[in-house]
Amino acid sequence: MLRHSLAWLVVIIAMGGIAGGLTLYKRSEMNAAEAAAAAYPEPSEAVASVRARQGEWSTSTRAIGTVVAMRELEIRNEIAGAIAEIGFKSGAIVEPGQTLIQFDTRQERALLAAAQAEARLGKITLERRESLRSSPAFSAQDYDRAREELAGATARANNLEVAIDKKKIVAPFRARIGITNLQPGAYLDVGTLLAKLQGVDEQAYVDFSLPQDSAAVQPGSLVTILSSAVPNGAMSAKIVAEENSADSVDRAVRFRAVVDSAGGKLRPGSFVDVIAVTSAPRPVIMVPLSAVRRSPHGEHVFLLATEDGKLRARQRVVQTGAVQNGEIAILKGLAAGDLVASSGSFKLREGLLVNTDVPTASISATTVN
């Protein structure tokens, strides 16, 4: 019985020794791991940084505008007749005074010659009657008749000259003429559309409509014109006219602006985008677009705060505005001079150590629409 008890005691002591040895071994491993972890550097990320700067922001609206020629004309004939000559080619540039269409005037010219002959004869007759004024043979009735016959012949001649002039259609200004199917010999009734003229000018009108509450937009205001026909993109235009009433259907107000025609690239009738500033500018903070991160909870930036001599990322919720030239307006959440992460900000998380070249404070004013 004593031997049996001693055997169990030996087993228990041996098991205790083994357990103690294992405990000491694991503790030494843990101490070594803790020492290695203490010697390993804290995780960090390298990003670009920028200081938020002061700017101005104003609301704007976009509308569809129509290019209108500054001088535009539909040419129609006042007198019916047959075409004798066409002095232009479809799509060509015509100069002021250039003959566009000459109607047949042979009949009018024959009648004009007869009327002019009557006028010359009437003048001779009137002069003869005038020479007899001091003679007993003078007749006041014959004198009055001769005078009226001369006046009638002169009036008929003048009327025929006007009719002949109306049968010659000339260009009133330098313009590009449209496409036409007219041919010499064709007979045209009164009021037939002969051609359309679009003035060749260095400027053009842009007509567009804005909501009636766009009080900041008025004659003298500047708007931005965007057209795919112009390689350089945006063009500045000045509003020169405003409709005196709102449209009864959509309650919009029509405006007219003057813009450079870009060497004729803005064709009349084409569509352009019009961007108009609709509110007075107010101060905002500007940061690069890459600094703003988006999540289901809203928009935020990573503010780089100095803590114990090191930069750490601190998430800051912001309210954003318009975007222009790679920058975005911050309406709320940042102050001018705040250091924020820009390129590479997607790698950051709250409290992460950050490596960056801190830029010098550069707070300049800019305007964003």
Task: Tell me the domains of the chain and their CATH numbers.
Answer: 45-58+282-368 (2.40.420.20), 62-70+202-277 (2.40.30.170), 105-166 (1.10.287)
As a whole number of angstroms, the distance between CA 318 and CA 328 comes to 11
% of the chain at pLDDT higher than 70? 89
Q: What is the pLDDT of residue 368?
A: 45
Confidence of residue 365 (pLDDT cuts 50, 70, 90): very low
Residue 369 has pLDDT above 60, yes or no: no
The lowest-confidence range among 7-11, 179-183, 204-208 is 7-11
The lowest-confidence range among 21-25, 109-113, 276-280 is 21-25
User: Residues 73-91: pLDDT tens digits?
Assistant: 899 998 899 999 999 898 8
Looking at residue 290, the DSSP 8-state letter turns out to be G
Instruction: Report whether 91 contacts 177 (CB < 8 A).
Output: yes
The lowest-confidence range among 30-44, 178-192, 347-361 is 30-44
Check: pTM over 0.85? Answer yes or no: no
Q: What is the pLDDT of residue 140?
A: 81
Residue 362 has pLDDT above 50, yes or no: no
Q: What is the pLDDT of residue 364?
A: 42
Side chain identity, residue 85: E
More confident residue, 366 or 258: 258
pLDDT averaged over every residue in the chain: 84
* Residue 165 phi, psi (nearest 5): -60, -40
Supply 172's token pair.
């009133």
Residue 361 has pLDDT above 60, yes or no: no
Q: What is the pLDDT of residue 58?
A: 75
Q: What is the pLDDT of residue 241?
A: 92
Which of the listed ranges 23-27, 52-56, 189-193, 226-230 does the model predict with the highest average pLDDT?
A: 189-193
Residue 203: helix, strand or coil by DSSP? strand
As a whole number of angstroms, the distance between CA 303 and CA 285 comes to 14
Confidence of residue 230 (pLDDT cuts 50, 70, 90): confident
Confidence of residue 45 (pLDDT cuts 50, 70, 90): confident
Q: What average pLDDT score do residues 335-342 get?
A: 92
Q: What average pLDDT score do residues 162-180 get?
A: 90
Q: What average pLDDT score do residues 157-165 get?
A: 92
DSSP 211-250: ETT-TT--TT-EEEEE-TTSTT-EEEEEEEEE-SS--TTT
More confident residue, 235 or 65: 65
More confident residue, 279 or 333: 333
